[in-house]
């Protein structure tokens, strides 16, 4: 469907869904094709992925990812940075729009057979390539942020995850805490995006939309 209508359709479907499925914006037809290809390479079935997710400690995951993301001693880069003078909270979802032109593009909205939104990465075998966490780790983090911030999966393309957030951080301190978690989970959104954790935190303050991208 036209991209300018995708979020409205997702909202309507999510509001009226029945148990056993969840709506997800998949991006373009090319994204859908790449997603289908990735399922064939997933080593585990959805049930096994969910069973693994049940055993994961997200605090331990975040600590491990934070260690992995620590700059080298010889790097002259202040990853934390300074809080921007004019924060711009993120309020728009990216997948229905062309990344270069920012114009709406034909967008796939799918119905995925899952118990809830957090199970979608397991159903699609999504993750485990490049620096992206594995499917079970995505499930665990979606559950964590759903419980703490009312996050719901809106979109999942070949390299992007987007969430709608009903209880975003409402103070600078809490926004920085969440930004540190986001950086641990997906360092590319800082190193190839916001530039610093503080700049990322400013986009999360009272923001209804979360965005993650893995190169």
Q: Looking at residue 75, what is its pLDDT?
A: 63
Instruction: Supply the mean pLDDT for the chain.
Output: 94
Token duo for residue 132: 């992206």
Average pLDDT score over residue span 11-30 = 95
Domain boundaries, the chain: 3-68+88-213
Task: Give the model's pLDDT for residue 28.
Answer: 94
Residue with tokens 């979802």: 93
**Quick one: pLDDT at residue 34?**
87
Kindly tell me if the per-residue pLDDT of 37 is higher than 90: no
pLDDT for position 73: 62
d(CA 198, CA 81): 6
pLDDT band at 156 (very low <50, low <70, confident <90, very high): very high
Q: What is the pLDDT of residues 127-139, one digit of tens each?
A: 998 889 999 999 9
C-alpha 98/C-alpha 106 separation (Å) is 9
């Amino acid at each position: 469907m036209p991209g300018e209508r995708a979020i409205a359709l997702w909202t309507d479907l999510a509001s009226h869904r029945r148990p056993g499925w969840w709506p997800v914006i998949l991006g373009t037809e090319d994204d859908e094709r790449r997603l289908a290809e990735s399922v064939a390479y997933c080593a585990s079935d959805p049930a096994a992925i969910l069973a693994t997710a049940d055993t994961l400690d997200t605090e331990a995951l975040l600590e491990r990812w934070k260690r992995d993301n620590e700059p080298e001693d010889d790097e002259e880069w202040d990853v934390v940075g300074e809080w921007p003078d004019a924060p711009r909270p993120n309020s728009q979802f990216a997948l229905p729009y062309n990344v270069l032109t920012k114009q709406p593009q034909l967008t796939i909205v799918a119905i995925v057979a899952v118990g809830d939104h957090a199970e979608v990465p397991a159903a699609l075998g999504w993750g485990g390539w490049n620096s992206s966490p594995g499917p079970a780790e995505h499930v665990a983090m979606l559950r964590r942020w759903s419980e703490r911030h009312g996050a719901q999966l809106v979109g999942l393309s070949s390299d992007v995850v987007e969430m709608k957030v009903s209880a975003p951080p409402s103070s600078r301190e809490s926004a920085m805490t969440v930004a540190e978690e986001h950086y641990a989970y997906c360092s590319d959104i800082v190193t190839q995006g916001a530039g610093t954790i503080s700049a990322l935190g400013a986009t999360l303050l009272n923001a209804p939309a979360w965005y993650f991208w893995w190169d």
